[in-house]
Chain A
Amino acid sequence: EVQLVQSGAEVKKPGESLKISCKGSGYSFSNQWIGWVRQMPGKGLEWMGIIYPGDSDTRYSPSFQGQVTISADKSISTAYLQWSSLKASDTAMYYCARGDPFDLWGQGTLVTVSS
């Protein structure tokens, strides 16, 4: 089955670090872009950035550049989104999605940042 499976929900404190994952299966992971999308509670979709796992070419939205790091390990068909120091405003659902445009989505990872 072609799918993207994301890691589970996280509850963190401000200032903590976090890395969430997105594992692809059923297709050639290296050869299609993987993107990350933020959805804050009750709000719309925000495009964060994309990575091409084959060569790790990565592009960021200016809104997220320097705030998060997108990476991928093609050997295990997994993409990552990480923060070095979380803020309460990072509380959101984060989706990974494949392609250009996004034709396959993960189920989402809910990140809650609260003291």
Chain B
Amino acid sequence: EIVLTQSPGTLSLSPGERATLSCRASQSVSSSYLAWYQQKPGQAPRLLIYVTSSRATGIPDRFTGSGSGTDFTLTISRLEPEDFAVYYCQQYGSSPPYTFGQGTKLEIK
């Protein structure tokens, strides 16, 4: 089972700043099948990025995914007020289970 470790646990930034979230896997993620989700309080998660760097439908281009192998990054170029939420990475490339990271909370500074 692949373990995903996200860092930092909490990130405090101001609107307009750049956010960099990390996701490290315990072994290489097959075919770069790494996704990122956003979850706001009281809502279901929403897919942001799949296959490491492809934006899901309707996701603004300030969200960028990158990485390969065991190290992946989600970058939000200029934070908008609606971006403050919890972000999860997920690997879905090797055999199940398709594990999630523990999450990074992005909060307003």
Q: Give Cα distance in the complex from A62 to B47, angstroms.
A: 24
What's the count of A-B pairs with C-beta under 8 Å?
A: 66
Q: How far is the CB of A69 from chain B (nearest CB, A)?
A: 16
- Of A37, A103, A108, the contact of B47 (CB 8 Å cutoff): A103
Please tell me if B97 contacts chain A, counting CB pairs below 8 Å.
yes
Distance between Cα atoms of A13 and B33 in the complex (Å): 39
Within A66-96, the residues touching B (CB, 8 Å) are 95
Q: Is A27 an interface residue (CB 8 A)?
A: no
Q: Is the CB of A49 within 8 A of B100?
A: no
A44-B102, A101-B50, A101-B92 as given contacts; A108 in contact with B44, CB under 8 Å = yes
Give 1 or 0 for each of B34-77: 1 = CB within 8 Å of chain A CB.
01010100001111001000001100000000000000000000
CA distance in complex: A95, B44 (Å): 7
> Does A9 sit at the interface, judged by CB under 8 A?
no
**Alpha-carbon separation in the docked complex, A62 to B3 (Å):** 13
Interchain CB contact under 8 A, A101 and B96: no
Indicate whether B32 reaches chain A with its CB closer than 8 angstroms: no
Contacts of B37 in A (CB 8 A): 45, 102
Q: Number of A interface residues, CB 8 Å?
A: 23
Which residues of chain B come closer than 8 Å to A29, judged between CB atoms? none
Please tell me if the beta carbons of B96 and A105 are within 8 angstroms of each other in the complex: no
Across the interface, name the chain A residue whose C-beta is closest to B56: A103
Indicate with 1 or 0, residue by residue over B67-100, a CB within 8 angstroms of chain A CB atoms. 0000000000000000000101010100111111
Question: Contact partner of B100 among A47, A59, A62, A105, CB < 8 A?
Answer: A47
Closest to B102 in A: A44
B45's partner among A60, A63, A105 (CB-CB below 8 A) is A105
Is A45's CB under 8 angstroms from B96's CB? Answer: no
Confirm or deny: B17 has a beta carbon within 8 angstroms of a beta carbon on chain A. no
Which chain B residues border A103 with CB–CB below 8 Å?
Answer: 47, 50, 56-57
* Chain A residue, CB-CB nearest to B44: A105
Given A63-B97, A102-B35, A105-B44, output 4 extra A-B contacts at Cβ < 8 Å. A44-B103, A45-B45, A61-B99, A102-B37
